[in-house]
Amino acid sequence: MLADHESGYLTLGYRIDVFTPYTTVAYMKTTDNDKRTSMPLNLALNDKRTAYSAGVRWDAIDNVAIKFDLTYATDFGDTSGGLSGNEYNPATGSFMLDDTFVYTVKFDAVF
């Protein structure tokens, strides 16, 4: 059984010649936690996260863009935040991470 999610985001950007700086705020959470009662399944499928991102897109040449992004993910509550590496520790009764930073460099090309 897959979890039902509610999510949304807002991105604002402004193009300045070949650069487009932007900011994004996003949230995601599961909405059917009470329908899944098995404890291990709940821990694996319950998700909640708020993320704040800032970045810039550089149109290096006509068909190539390079994107730099920094995202701060937080507000996991009592969930993994949807991060596969955020494991539950039964000894402490909580997940390893409450928040994290994600750094990304992307290379997009159109052929």
pLDDT of residue 7: 93
Positive or negative, the Cα torsion across 98, 104, 110, 111? negative
By residue count, the chain amounts to: 111
CA 87 – CA 71 distance, rounded (Å):
20
pLDDT (tens digit per residue) in 70-94: 999 998 887 778 787 788 778 877 8
Give phi and psi for 58, each to the nearest 5: -120, 120
What pTM, to 2 d.p., does this model score?
0.81
- Contact between 47 and 79 under an 8 Å Cβ cutoff? The reply is yes
Per-residue model confidence as pLDDT tens digits over 16-55: 999 999 999 999 988 876 776 655 555 567 788 999 999 9
pLDDT at position 65 over 90: yes
